[in-house]
Amino acid sequence: MQQQPYPLGRFHAELEQLEPRFAAALEACTLFLHRYLPGEYIMRQGEQSECLYLVETGRVSLNSAVHSGRLFQLGEIACQRQIFGEMEFFSATPVQWSVMAETELDASVICAHKLALRLLAEPELTLFFASALASDYLDTLDITTSRLLHPIAYNIAYELWRERQRTPMLGSRKRAHEAARFGTTERVYRRALKELVDQGIVCDGADGPTIADLARLRTYLDL
């Protein structure tokens, strides 16, 4: 979730007024600043966490793995004061998705116990979490539902459309990670991507796939 109120939502005006107090509460509960290098875990799946992490800027990826080694990457986030660990904070359950630094970045480590006491003293600040969690839940559900219901080629095209709409969740742009993003192998991913390239919908360059023809993309996605 982002620290700043999301641009849409029922309580946007109220959250904008409360934002300085929310920022002050997070700062008061911060233990220290920690630097992460690319490839380092900020949070690891299955571990118990007693902290939240606030990333000012930088890119992180979220992924889930099984014992066989198969990896599903929910996506990357270009952070703008992004908070991680809020789900585990409220549920008191182990970390569900691993959070990995994709660029060198600094994260403020926030004490969960101190934050809990602060929210009990100022319960109106929980509105930030409720509003952001609802928005992020719908965004994540949209991604996972599309993965289940549509073929890989459609999902590649759909993610390019989402990125164009300035959605926080982004593709990896690393071919192996991009395949994991759709829960498949590199070979299957390349075949699906070629299908889109052959139809003139997508271009595949050194920096990864991009939209070749917006009108064709919209028609393909039935938008």
Output the pLDDT for position 29: 98
Output the pLDDT for position 172: 46
| Burial call 171-192: b when 16+ CB within 10 Å, e when fewer | bbeeeebbbbbbbbeeeebeeb
Work out the percent of the chain whose per-residue pLDDT is above 70: 94
Give residue 70's pLDDT band: very low, low, confident or very high (50, 70, 90). Answer: confident
> CA-CA distance, 202 to 193, in Å (whole number)?
8
Output the pLDDT for position 175: 55
Output the pLDDT for position 205: 80
> CA-CA distance, 86 to 97, in Å (whole number)?
12
Mean pLDDT of 193-210: 89
| Among the ranges given (44-48, 118-122, 156-160), the one the predictor scored with the smallest mean pLDDT | 156-160
CA-based angle 98:99:100, to the nearest 5?
A: 115
Residue 153 one-letter amino acid: A
Residue 35: φ, ψ to 5°: -95, 135
3-state secondary structure of 168: coil
pLDDT score of 68 more than 90: no
Tallying the residues shown for the chain, one arrives at: 223
